Amino acid sequence: MNRIVKEGILKCSFGNIAYKHWHAGANLPKLFFMHGWQDHLGVFEPIIDSLDGKYEVFAWDMPGHGKSHFPNWPWTYGHSEQPKQAFEVLKKLEWDEYSLVAHSWAANGMTPFVKMFPDQVKNYIILDAYGNGYPLID
């Protein structure tokens, strides 16, 4: 079982988000988790626990979900907002390279992000994306 190093609220321009950060600051491969619509970071905890401390992990409640605040208005819950949110959170983490694990709604919204930052996103792990999403075509 992984030990949570940090748990709290991160102040962002789009509102305050709740997060959990396992093995913060360790020299381990990094995993950045984003959940689906009407979900929360807790859905990932069984997966994170199974990693046996082999990764630094950051999971967060997206705006209006879990323990995070509702977003500042004007705002939409469209896919176009997710890359902006992730970009800001990742800047605060100061991560240069990481693997992105995205579920459902976030998996569809983050595909363009992966194409925009290929040098940063080492792996893109999609869990149960719906519809056609955005194809990864070079």
Say which DSSP state 71 is in. P
The rounded Cα 63 to chain-centroid distance in angstroms is: 12
Nearest CA among 42, 22, 38 for reference residue 30: 22
Bridging pattern class, strands 4-12 and 30-34: unpaired
pTM of the model: 0.84
**Cα angle at 3 between 127 and 96, to 5 degrees?**
60
Reduced 3-state DSSP string for 79-115: CCHHHHHHHHHHHHHCCCCEEEEEECHHHHHHHHHHH
Specify the pLDDT at position 109. Answer: 82
pLDDT digit string (tens) for 80-107? 778 888 999 999 999 999 999 988 877 7
CATH code 3.40.50.1820 for 4-127: yes
Specify the pLDDT at position 26. Answer: 75
- Phi-psi bin for 66: left (phi > 0), alpha (psi -120 to 50), beta? left
3-state secondary structure of 4: strand
